[in-house]
Structure 1
Amino acid sequence: MPARKKRFECGHKAFGKICRRCIYLENERLRYQRMQEQKELERRELEAIAKELGVNPAGYRKNVLLKAYNIVKQIREGAPFARFNWRLLKAMGQREIIRIKVDRCHRLIFRVDKMGTKFLELLTHERYNTRLASGGWLD
């Protein structure tokens, strides 16, 4: 005698003692929920990093924010500028300003004086060029 399909409480019809379709759907829902929680956690971490750098997180990609944060953190801990792709703004007469390339399109600006090194800002290369042409970082 062949096995018969039965109707489960959920309304699905199948062979067996439990509805595997509902179990699969529940597992997918839980996996999606965990993925959303992970994304929210990453977003909060990026917002905290951007707040510490003093920039708007919406204007920069995740990898740029993380790399800039790591560079600033290493310099605050005493790492030499020679470890990074850096330049002094000698041509502009601002020898105390240092530019570090984060990636192809982003720059970190630092001021070095007797009191130490101070992080000024994170800029795109367009904003960096505009700022440089308009006189630089005169404070």
Structure 2
Amino acid sequence: MAGPRVAPAGEWGHTVLEAGGRRCRCGGRGCVEAYVGAGALARTCPPGDPEVAVARLAEAVRQGDSTALETLGRFARSLGVALAGFVNVLNPELIVFGGWVSAVLGEPLVSAVTPVIKEYALAPCFEAVTAVLGRHQGNPVSLGMAVLAFETHLLD
């Protein structure tokens, strides 16, 4: 007999950012992912392939296009508010922006999100954290787990 089904832990993207907000792919409403996931960002761009839409947005941001900068600002605000809650709860030393959207948007994303985190995080928590753009775009979760295993079991 199988035990009760347990949801996976660590699903920060499904923390509610706005009660009763946008429908999320998980079936919930108002999840962080519904506002700052790749799909959410792509929906703010003209219809088509999300990767192409985000690449066009990134290029327009680099060229200083006011509409693109406004779109990035809205995206960064939601992400920054969500990350501020994360910072207040976990007090991390480092936030790494990873994944394909971060790789395409690059430093403009980090520069737009960081002041929002500062605005909403507790000052001592914000002062202890550094936000950076990830350098490893392949599978950073697996890489992180490998480093954790290495540090835990081989360096002791």
- Give the TM-score normalised by structure 1: 0.26
Q: Please state which structure has a larger fraction of its residues in strand.
A: 1
- Give the TM-score normalised by structure 2: 0.24
The structure with the largest alpha-carbon Rg is 1
Higher relative contact order, structure no. (Cα contacts within 8 Å, ≥ 6 residues apart):
2
